[in-house]
């Protein structure tokens, strides 16, 4: 939320539009206003990759494989459930602050089954505004000045600013490609256990993991999660597990919940998203699941920040879950059918990129694919801004080739930039026609 920039621009506009005599007064007021600046907690947090790239890509003539949202429709029954909910008067008014009863009960059912444990819908679940809202509530509730939080690169970009806004210190550790080979799959990226254990110390409050990972698409194996769990238990830290892409796992891979490992339930917050689960990113509903001893603090943040999430949306998502609960494990279940549909798109995009002479990193999960653009050999020497190569490349590509992607260095810290700046991230939860259009642009790259 960019109030500083917001306030500054507001007063700038005032000055510009006033006649000369008044401008003197306004300038004096502007100088007077400068006593009031933004709060320190948002210092340096105003840059944002989505704000930078989404407006540019909004131009309909651009083939948009950038921001991660579907251009395929959501299942019709969730939209119907929303229309139905809004027609019931009570559903248009405030509901229970920590989560609409029918939704938390449905979540308790579904996740109880997945985790193999009883989950208390009222004490162990918090409904938030998107996965983003759960991350924010978690950080605000559990991270403060003096805390270190380990973040694995590449990371969903908001983790670092959220840790900083909560007064914490991000400690970064990169996923590294296995030595000796060019990475062709997200399985080729791994976390070095020794390097990881050296990042833990007495100030470490938590580690954030994201599986399936955005942007690489890595799905952490049980063994990999065990290494992390062992360190959490040994150093008595918390674990924030962002699992918004949990259903989007492809053949041969299994999504494992770190909270289900021994000793982990009591120290883990697991985050999910309706937007990713039901292809309705615009609904902005998510949830945090964990032990009462942690969730109660997230609830405190919720009741002092947003208080409650929109009612009809929660009702509709509850209906969506109840419907799919019955079909869990079967091909008709949306959680399975969407993964199936996306696997086809994943393979199609990978083939398109290979045909264009590039080597995609085929993901095990999620709906993003990384690709190294070095083979395109694009000369960007005319772009003199001090930015990483991928930022320049994506900006140039949007402008000249009308194809949008996201630069991967947005997801890493300063030190790791050089290892990732040849990669761009492409989103493939898109209509086949969108993917084909991207393919055409890439095939005809050399043509002016």
Partner 1 sequence: MGIIRNLSTNLTVIRQSLLRNHQKTIMSRKVHASRTEGVDKNVWVEFTQLAADYKAVNLGQGFPDFSPPEFIREAFCDAVKGGPAMHQYTRAFGHPPLVKILAKFFSRIVGHEIDPLEDILVTVGAYQALFSAFQALIDEDDEVIIVEPFFDCYQPMVVMAGGKPVYIPLRPREGSAVLSSGDWVLSAEELASKVTPRTKAIVINTPNNPLGKIYKLEELQMIADLCIKHDLLCFSDEVYEWLTYDGAKHVKIASLPGMRERTITIGSAGKSFSATGWKEAVARGFEREYEVFGTPESYFQQLPAMLHSKRQKLATCLQSAGLNPIMPEGGYFMIADISSIEVDLNDESNKDEPRDFRFVKWLIKEKGLATIPVSAFYSSEHGKEFDKYIRFCFVKEDSTLKAAEDILKKWSQKE
**Partners of 210 in the beta sheet?**
242
Residue 144 CB, nearest approach to partner 1 (Å): 4
Count CB-CB contacts under 10 A for residue 221. 16
- CB 405 within 8 Å of CB 65: yes
Residue 237 CB, nearest approach to partner 1 (Å): 8
Q: In the 3-class helix/strand/coil scheme, how is 131-153 assigned residue by residue?
A: HHHHHHHHHHHHCCCCCEEEEEE
Nearer to partner 1, 371 or 429 (CB): 429
The four Cα atoms 439, 440, 446, 447 give a dihedral, to 10 degrees, of -170
Nearer to partner 1, 83 or 380 (CB): 83
Helix/strand/coil percent split, the chain, to 5? 50, 15, 35
Longest dimension (CA), the chain: 74
**HSE (side-chain half, CA atoms, 13 Å) at 447:** 6
Nearer to partner 1, 38 or 105 (CB): 38
Nearer to partner 1, 2 or 354 (CB): 2
DSSP 8-state code for residue 4: H
List phi, psi (to 5°) of 304: -110, 5
Residue 110 CB, nearest approach to partner 1 (Å): 21
Report how far residue 441's alpha carbon sits from residue 323's, in angstroms, rounded to the nearest whole number.
40
Report how far residue 33's alpha carbon sits from residue 10's, in angstroms, rounded to the nearest whole number.
12
Residue 278 CB, nearest approach to partner 1 (Å): 9
Alpha helices, H only, 143-192:
159-165
Nearer to partner 1, 67 or 354 (CB): 67
Nearer to partner 1, 89 or 377 (CB): 89
Nearer to partner 1, 139 or 356 (CB): 139
Residue 31 CB, nearest approach to partner 1 (Å): 10
**Partners of 368 in the beta sheet?**
427
Residue 231 CB, nearest approach to partner 1 (Å): 14
Report how far residue 157's alpha carbon sits from residue 410's, in angstroms, rounded to the nearest whole number.
6
Residue 363 CB, nearest approach to partner 1 (Å): 21
Report how far residue 99's alpha carbon sits from residue 129's, in angstroms, rounded to the nearest whole number.
11
Nearer to partner 1, 82 or 373 (CB): 82
Cis? peptide before 154, omega within 30° of 0: yes
Residue 247 CB, nearest approach to partner 1 (Å): 17
């Amino acid at each position: 939320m960019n109030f500083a920039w917001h306030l500054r621009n507001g007063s700038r506009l005032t000055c510009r539009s006033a006649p000369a005599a008044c401008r003197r007064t306004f300038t004096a007021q502007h100088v007077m206003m400068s006593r009031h600046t933004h709060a320190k907690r948002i210092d340096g947090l105003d840059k944002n990759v989505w704000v930078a790239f989404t407006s540019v890509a909004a131009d309909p003539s651009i083939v948009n494989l950038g921001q991660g949202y579907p251009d395929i429709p959501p299942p019709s029954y969730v939209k119907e459930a929303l229309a139905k909910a809004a027609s019931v008067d009570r559903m248009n008014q405030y509901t229970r602050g920590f989560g609409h009863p029918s939704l938390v009960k449905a979540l308790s059912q579904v996740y109880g089954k997945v985790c193999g444990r009883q989950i208390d819908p009222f004490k162990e679940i918090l409904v938030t505004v998107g996965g983003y809202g759960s991350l924010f509530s978690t950080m605000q509730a559990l991270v403060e000045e003096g805390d270190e939080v380990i973040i694995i690169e590449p990371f969903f970009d908001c983790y670092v600013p959220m840790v900083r806004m909560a007064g914490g210190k991000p400690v970064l550790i990169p996923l590294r490609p296995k030595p000796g080979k060019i990475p062709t799959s997200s399985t080729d990226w791994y976390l070095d256990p020794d390097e990881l254990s050296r990042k833990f110390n007495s100030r470490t409050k938590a580690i954030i993991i994201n599986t399936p990972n955005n942007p690489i698409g890595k799905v952490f194996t049980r063994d990999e999660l065990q290494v992390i769990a062992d360190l959490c238990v040994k150093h008595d830290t918390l674990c924030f597990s962002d699992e918004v892409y949990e259903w989007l796992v492809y053949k041969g891979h299994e999504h494992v919940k770190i909270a289900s490992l021994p000793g982990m339930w009591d120290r883990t917050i697991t985050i999910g998203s309706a937007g990713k689960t039901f292809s309705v990113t615009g609904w902005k509903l998510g949830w945090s699941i964990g032990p009462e001893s942690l969730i109660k603090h997230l609830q405190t943040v919720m009741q002092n920040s947003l208080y409650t999430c929109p009612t009809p949306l929660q009702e509709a998502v509850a209906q969506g879950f109840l419907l799919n609960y019955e079909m869990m494990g079967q091909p008709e279940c949306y959680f399975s059918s969407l993964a199936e549909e996306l696997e086809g798109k994943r393979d199609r995009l990978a083939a398109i990129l290979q045909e264009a002479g590039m080597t995609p990193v085929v993901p095990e999960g999620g709906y993003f694919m990384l690709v190294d653009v070095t083979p395109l050999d694009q000369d960007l020497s005319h772009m003199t801004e001090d930015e990483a190569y991928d930022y320049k490349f994506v900006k140039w590509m949007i402008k000249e080739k009308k194809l949008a992607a996201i630069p991967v260095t947005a997801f890493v810290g300063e030190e790791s930039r050089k290892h990732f700046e040849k990669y761009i991230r492409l989103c493939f939860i898109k209509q086949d026609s969108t993917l084909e259009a991207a393919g055409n642009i890439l095939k005809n790259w050399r043509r002016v």
